[in-house]
């Protein structure tokens, strides 16, 4: 199984605090952790741990943050195809140890868009995973990939002409439930779901966090319930969901089985603190899957999240 990922990479510096500081206060973290951020790298780490051969095309700086990220990618056997930029994007994450809340201070970096990838590399890929940032590379890959290479996208919560185009051309549009209300603000949940299906022209997968996910094929809504867990930290769960879903795709599972597996793995991710540091191993996943119990959810709970 060969996977190509194209998207943003970020170094997350997580400061674990006993409690959230008041404005103007000085605080000493209990612990500082560095991990890989970005939807595509997180998905690739998971897939690599599940046995896939993974390549990452991304923009990265020749600096200390870039060095840390390269070491972490190397540790997880992910081959880096680097597009050099002036400096590497990084985030500072303040983690409240009491309730697990996170405050993210984002670094602002710009880079030259990635417009193409090696055709030789692309022809080897069974699966391509994209985030929303590299639309020119997306166009190139859709034109030059093998006909049987599947494409999964991670648009985050962005709804724009760019992401709608990606929904239309990707094989598996996976969309957060919060995005539905942004499609047509005058429409209700069902109207926007139908509109998204019309744009995509294929079944859509809607993720709903602790409420699980749903599938919509233009006629029927199918709920895929979450697993019953105690959530410690939900950061990165959506990234892991897409990676796990991609694993199902490469194993020729149907939509229901792939989505259920993605729910299980994303649920396991939420039982640990951290983004890149919490990504489970293959052994952890299949051990957890044996005992995981689904939690009952009704559609109205998911609809409430979209309004």
Which pairing describes strands 2-6 and 127-131: parallel, antiparallel, or unpaired? parallel
CA distance 12 to 8: 13
Q: Is the pLDDT of residue 87 over 80?
A: yes
Helices (H), the chain: 39-49, 64-75, 119-124, 135-144, 161-169, 180-183, 189-200, 237-250, 255-269, 282-291, 299-305
Residue 60 pLDDT grade (very low, low, confident, very high; cuts 50, 70, 90)? very high
What average pLDDT score do residues 53-59 get?
A: 97
DSSP 243: H
What average pLDDT score do residues 77-82 get?
A: 97
pLDDT digits (tens, 9 = 90+) for 91-142: 898 888 777 677 888 887 777 889 999 999 999 999 999 999 999 999 999 9
pLDDT digits (tens, 9 = 90+) for 176-220: 999 998 998 788 999 999 999 999 999 999 999 999 999 999 999
**Domain extent for 257:** 2-305
pLDDT digits (tens, 9 = 90+) for 211-253: 999 999 999 999 999 999 988 878 788 999 999 999 999 999 9
Q: What helix, strand, coil percent values describe the chain, rounded to 5? A: 40, 25, 35
With a threshold of 0.85, does the pTM exceed it?
yes
Residue 71 class from Cβ within 10 Å (0-12 exposed, 13-18 middle, 19+ buried)?
exposed
CA distance 246 to 251: 9
Q: Which CATH number do you get for residue 251?
A: 3.40.1190.20
Helix, strand or coil, per DSSP, at residue 29: coil
Name the average pLDDT for the chain: 92
Task: Name the β-bridge partners of 17.
Answer: 96
Number of domains, the chain: 1
């Amino acid at each position: 199984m060969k996977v190509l990922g194209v998207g943003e990479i970020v170094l997350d510096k997580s400061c674990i605090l006993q409690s959230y500081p008041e404005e103007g206060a000085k605080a000493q973290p209990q612990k500082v952790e560095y991990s890989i951020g970005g939807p595509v790298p997180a998905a690739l780490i998971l897939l690599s741990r599940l046995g896939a051969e993974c390549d990452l095309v991304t923009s990265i700086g020749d600096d200390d943050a870039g060095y840390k990220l390269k070491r972490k990618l190397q540790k997880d056997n992910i081959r880096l195809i680097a597009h050099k930029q002036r400096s590497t994007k990084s985030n500072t994450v303040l983690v409240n140890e009491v309730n697990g809340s996170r405050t993210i201070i984002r670094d602002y970096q710009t880079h030259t868009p990635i417009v193409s990838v090696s055709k030789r590399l692309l022809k080897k890929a069974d699966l391509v995973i994209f985030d929303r940032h590299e639309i020119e590379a997306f166009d190139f890959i859709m034109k030059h990939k093998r006909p049987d290479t599947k494409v999964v996208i991670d648009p985050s919560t962005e709804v724009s002409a760019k992401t709608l185009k990606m929904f239309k051309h990707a094989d598996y549009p996976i969309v957060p439930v919060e995005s539905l209300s942004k499609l047509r603000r005058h429409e209700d949940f069902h109207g926007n779901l139908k509109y998204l299906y019309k744009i995509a022209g294929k079944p859509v997968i809607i993720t709903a966090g602790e409420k699980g996910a749903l599938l919509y094929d233009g006629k029927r809504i199918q709920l895929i319930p979450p697993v019953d867990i105690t959530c410690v930290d939900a950061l990165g769960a959506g990234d892991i969901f897409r990676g796990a879903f991609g694993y199902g795709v490469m194993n020729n599972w149907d939509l229901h089985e792939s989505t259920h597996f993605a729910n299980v793995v994303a649920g396991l991710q939420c039982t640990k603190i951290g983004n890149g540091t919490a990504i489970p191993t293959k052994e952890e996943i299949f051990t957890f899957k044996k005992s995981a119990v689904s939690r009952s959810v009704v559609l109205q709970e998911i609809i409430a999240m979209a309004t």
